Amino acid sequence: MARDRSTKALAARIELDYYKRPHPWRTAMQRFTVGAAVLAGAWVLISMRLQGDHIFTSGPVATRHRMFGADCFQCHEAWKGVPDDKCLKCHDAPAHHGNQTMTPSCASCHVEHKGQLQLARMTDQHCTRCHSQLQTTGEPTRFARSIQSFERGHPEFAAVRPGARDKTVLRYNHQKHMKRGLQGKSGPVNLECAGCHAPDPAGRYMQAVTFEQHCKDCHPLQLGLTLPGGVAPHAPTDVVRLAVRAQLETLAREHPERMQAEPKEEGGRRRRRGASESQPPTPVNTAQWLSSQAESIEKALVGKTCKLCHDFAAPTASAADSLPQVIAPAMPARWMKSSVYSHRAHRTLTCAVCHASAAASAETSQVLLPSAVTCLICHSPSGGSRHECTECHLHHDKSREREIDGPMEINPVMIRPRAAR
């Protein structure tokens, strides 16, 4: 007899309550699942009892956020992460550039709970996601459009590109001043870089070189034989004129004999020094003497002393009786304004490592800054020093930071918005 293989016959052979019968493996799995859930719940409850909310943190916050690190909701919103307005209540975050095509969220670049000292130190990928294929709105950008890293695609520094010149209106010769045994105020001197170039208190940028502090000892603005020991101030020419006249008036008042005309021999010739026969000194009108001597001293100062270093503006018809005006040197306070730098961090190096051409420079127009190639010796993967974009560049425009007297107050636990006045 043939066996019935119909669907109905086959279904009748299946025991529909098989899953209700106990089985050692199934029982063990159920007990393991329940036990694991109970243990996990107990661990969470015990940890919360002992550690509070710290059990839910991803790691320690940055050093500067530790004052409110125990209060998650100072930064986080439930189920929304960290919105930008939570960061902006404390931090200034001016736009990177007005023509940027996208603005990343704060937390996408400044990743917390890593325990780092500086959240501003980011990996290059945060910068190159725009700068590897730079797109802008409005007018074309003046920046390079394809930069992968400092060693790949970064252009030469603008200050030292071919054709770049130092436009300071001043004549200075580094080569001459670096010679050994120059005549100084108290004898021979050997000038060093640090004698004129000193960093600011933060150790970042060099302070301005000034005449009073760095040049005066070797280059006093002496006023000649008429005023022995007299020195003109290093100031605008109208101030110099007043100072010269004041010193001459003091001389005339305290030593009137200096105003006497030199005795002359017959025929109008000036008497030779030491001659016994001569006419007596002839009195001179004080105003005439002051005017004559002042004109002579001013002519020597402007025509010789000042011109050693300075250029003068073309005289105007309205200033016919005034001294020529010195063109302001306008030395750059900073050369690379799109970057940051620290001389203190580089203090173990000799100046010549970065400013190799300074000792041979005879012209002010020569820019004596290092090139990108010099920096890459150390600041590259092979050099071993830090070479991330943020080592030299800032993202936010610090010139648009808020003024002092911000909106926050401090209490022992956290920062809270200040009450309205």
| Model confidence pLDDT, tens digit, residues 55-84 | 666 788 888 888 888 788 888 888 788 999
Instruction: Answer yes or no: are the C-beta atoms of 68 and 76 closer than 8 Å.
Output: no
Q: Provide the whole-model pTM.
A: 0.71
* HSE-up of residue 198 (Cα within 13 Å, Cβ side): 8
| 210 found inside a domain | no
Instruction: Output the pLDDT for position 344.
Output: 95
Buried b or exposed e, range 190-221, using 16+ CB within 10 angstroms: ebebeebbeeeeeeebbeeeeeeebbeeeeeb
Structural domain of residue 231, as residue ranges? 220-257+283-312+323-330
Number of structural domains found in the chain: 2
| 395 found inside a domain | no
Q: For residue 64, which amino acid is it? A: R
| 233 found inside a domain | yes
| 250 found inside a domain | yes
| 294 found inside a domain | yes
Alpha helices in 71-121 (DSSP H): 84-88, 106-109
Distance CA 388, CA 312 (A): 46
Place of tokens 């636990």: 413
Helices 237-254 and 286-300: crossing angle, nearest 10°? 140
Structure tokens, 364: 């002010």
Check whether 104 has a pLDDT greater than 60: yes
| 289 found inside a domain | yes
* HSE-up of residue 170 (Cα within 13 Å, Cβ side): 13
Structure tokens, 304: 């010789």
| Helix/strand/coil for 122 | coil
| 387 found inside a domain | no
Instruction: Answer yes or no: are the C-beta atoms of 130 and 137 closer than 8 Å.
Output: no
Burial class (CB in 10 A: 0-12, 13-18, 19+), 323: buried
**Domain's final residue, options 270, 301, 330:** 330
| Model confidence pLDDT, tens digit, residues 261-303 | 544 444 445 445 454 445 555 556 888 888 889 999 988 888 8
Higher-confidence position of 40 and 22:
40
Instruction: Answer yes or no: are the C-beta atoms of 151 and 366 closer than 8 Å.
Output: no
| 207 found inside a domain | no
CA 33 to chain CA centroid, nearest Å: 61
From 54-68, 133-147, 229-243, 342-356, the region with the lowest mean pLDDT: 54-68
Strand segments (E) across 90-221: 182-184, 187-189
